[in-house]
Every structure is written in C-alpha cells, then in structure tokens.
Amino acid sequence: MRRALTAAGTLLAAIPLVLTAAGPAGAATGTLTVESTRGPRVRIVNPAAGCHALPAFPLFSRIRVINATDTDVVFYSGAGCRSGLLRATTRVRAGATVRRTMSGTYSVRVEPTWP
C-alpha cells in the first residue's frame, strides 16, 4: 500500500513538469529571416504568433525568405497583415525558402503552433 501511494505521489508531482516543458502555444521555434538585395535584413528568432511589421523595401528588391521555424508564415503586401483584392499574399511553409521580387511595405503573420 505504501509503495502504491509513493508511486502515485511521484506521478502527480511530475505532471506540472511535463506541462511546462511543452512550452506556450503560439510561439514558433526557430528563425525567420528576410534578406534583400537592396534593403534591410530582418531576422526574427522564435517569433510569436501574430502579425509582424517589416521595413519598406526599395523598388523591385529581390527578397529571399528563409523560414527555419516549425510553423508556416504568410507574407502580406501592405501593413497590418490584411488581405484584399490588390493585396497579394505568399505562404511560406515551415522549413522552406522562397524568392520574390517585392517593393514597398510588407508584413508577415506567423501561424500559431499547438503543443
């Protein structure tokens, strides 16, 4: 009887450790990098889920997006991660690299992850 209670107590004590080790839902793990031939280089480490503003790119900049995270990201032409008739979107899958020609203001939305 004493052994059973000790084993049960040990298991109950370990539950919070397992739950905290999983990490918060929504934060991506890895690095999202946006490189430009004529503009700034942006590097976001372990990006939080949601919309992230990017600096403006000069006219017809050649952009390389390296998504070394564990979740997909979506690029929006324009600020605020809003899509529309004249606002193109580009999905970059987790672990993928995409090359595009861009100019102007862009934003990126990091998809939430779930443990």
Is 80 exceeded by the pLDDT of residue 76?
A: yes
**What's the pLDDT tens digit per position in 22-58?**
444 567 999 999 999 888 899 999 999 999 999 888 8
**What's the pLDDT tens digit per position in 87-107?**
778 899 999 999 988 888 889
Q: What is the pTM of this model?
A: 0.71
* Stretch 66-71: mean pLDDT: 96
* Nearest-angstrom CA–CA distance, 78 and 31: 22
pLDDT tier, 18 (very low <50, low <70, confident <90, very high otherwise): very low
Structure tokens at 110: 């990091």
Q: Which amino acid is at 108?
A: V
- Residue whose pair of structure tokens reads 């861009």 in the numeric block: 102
